Structures are given as C-alpha cells and as structure tokens.
Chain A
Amino acid sequence: MNSRERVLAALRREPVDRTPVCNPTSVATVELMDLSDSYFPDANRDPERMARLAATSYTELGFDSIMPVFSIIQESSALGCKIQWEQKDNWPTVRMREPIYTEPDDIRIPPDFLQHPDLQCVLNAIRILRKEYGNEVAIIGKTMGPWSLGYHCFGVEPFLLMSLDDEGKTKLCLDRLKEVTIQFGLAQLEAGADALTLPDHATGDLVSGEYYARYLRDMHIEFAQRLPIPLILHICGRTVDRMGYIAETGMAAFHYDSKNDPAESMAIVKDRIALVGNINNPETLFSKGPEEVRREVYRNLDAGVNLVGPECAIPLQTTIENLKEIPLAVRDWHKEHVQ
C-alpha cells in the first residue's frame, strides 16, 4: 500500500498494512519553514509556498498525508472578517473582537466567495500538490463548520450567549453558514483533495454533548450526505459525551483530543467511525521527548485507533525530532505485533 491508499483505506475502516500517520489539522513548524524556505504568514497566502511547506509532512516527517490548510481563517477572511496575519512564529487569527454579524440576516455569502484570494490559495495549493505527488500520498483539505464560523463572524461570547438565549435564531445562523462549508468543501474536492477535515469547535471545554446533539448532529449528517468525500470531523477537548452522536453522522473519521482516553473512545464509537489522534501537543510533542511521544503512539495503537497523529495543530516551535518519532513508533509497533 502507498500512503494515499493506506489513509483512504483507514478512513473506510478497511484493513491496512500498517496504521497510517495522519495530520488532519497542521504540522507546520518553524523548523519545517526553514527547511522548505516557506514561512508564515506568506505560507498561508501564497499557494506555492503553502504547498511547499505542507509537503514537508510527507517528505521530511514521513507522515502519510499532506494538509496544506494550516490555519482556520480562510473562509472567515472571505466572508469579511478581519485577520491578524502575524509573523513567522505565530498563527494567523480572526479578530473575533470585531465581529461582522449580529443577526442572521447579516449573513451574506458573496456571489464570488470562492474567488477570494485566501480560498483560491488553498485550491491552488491542492492542485499543485496533486500534480506533484499524484496518487502516492493523501492530500487532505479543510472546510470549516458553521459553529466555528459562528464564533468568527459573531464573536465567541455573543454567539454562545445567542445559543442560550434564542435557539431558533442560532439554528437559522448555522443553517445559513453551512453553505460556506459546502461550497468550499466541494471546491476542494474538485481541486483534487482526497479527504476533508471539518473543524466545528463545539468543544468539550465550551459546550455540552447535549448542545452538539441539539445544534450540530443533523447538520453534520447533512454534510456527510452532501459532500461526497471522506470527512474528518475535528472537535477539541473532552468529547466522550458526544462521540456516540458523532459516530452516527456518517462522517468517515473523528479527529480527537488527548483529553479522551483512546480505549474509552474506541469503546464508544465501536466500528461506526474511524478515530484519528490523539498525541498531546503542549505537554508531549512540544515539551517532552521522543520517548514520551512513542508511549502515546503505542497507547493509541494498542487501543485500535485507525489513524495516528497529533491531537490538533501543533505549536510552531515543536521539534522535528518529536514529530518524526510518530511514524517511527508506528512502524516499530507493527513490527512487534506481526501476526
């Protein structure tokens, strides 16, 4: 199996020759920027640089996938949010303190939405990667879910308060914003993406599992039906209280956080959805060494997790040595478990 075949098979929960190493969010680091001569913030806005930096996860780290969308700001930028582009050592962010919407009727998806330079950058980067790597490695795109877009466009606090004060209004906002998710997702599929990460930050640290069921479960089922490509849902934090719902959405995989025990999570989702994750970023990949990284990889493999990788976008100062340890540990685990 090559890397692409391995990732796609794992996303279908079919047998693989070894567990794929996957980065559904981002593994861009300062060291990788130096190696590829492609730096933030330009690597978020120039398709050539974006593709070059993204490819290092395959060429330098030995991961089985490439994810060119390092941040979560593209769609919001195209909708009109102000973006703080930052420098080499920081992530671009949406200025959520300056929201662009207050009411559902404010939501307007521009007719030329997909022509926005920040979306074109992603689409062109996917085309470049597809041309460069053909079918040897899985190219994963990213389309933001409506809950995350709600934070960006309404501001986190106003959006969360709206969700408590007025359920109908909140659902109307989500319903209108979901078209952003669909449009950008389909465009990336057309550009050549093999799978899409769909971050929708109804995180365990912010809202309950009941909230997920109330506001997002049906919408996520709709995404799985309308986007004919494997979808990898990403939600941070402790999420075991909603994994049962998530497993029934029809999405291919759930990218889960280190706050969830791998064995407990696998027991909840059973064989209804693949799990991707969940190496801890701040305490392990950033702060500790290869030995601790290896231990977390083994914990995931012992539990039967389908694709292994960091829990979320990693701190930019994470060392290459720690990241390279993930595929090394996966290979060693499989050697030790040859039947």
Chain B
Amino acid sequence: MCLRPGLKAPDFEADAYDPKAGELKKVKLSDYRGKWVILFFYPADFTFV
C-alpha cells in the first residue's frame, strides 16, 4: 500500500502515556474524527534530533 494525501489515514489503536494527566491510556485514531490531527513519528525517546 502506498499512502498519499487524499487517502484516509489508516486507523490504529495503541497504548499511550498522557503526560498532562500523568496516566496511561488507549488511543484510537478514529476517535479523533472531527478534529485536525498530526501524527508525529520519531525514532526513540532519549534522542536529540
């Protein structure tokens, strides 16, 4: 599959940490329907780029 603008963003569900609430939670992309969302991938914690 090749993603491009104009296509639906693939849905996913995953564990997450919410630093503001200080708690673990589940995140499901489709729960954000109706909002603008940025998916911000980065290699690993404790790195500096």
A and B co-occur in one complex: no
Residues of A within 8 A of B (CB): none
Residues of B within 8 A of A (CB): none
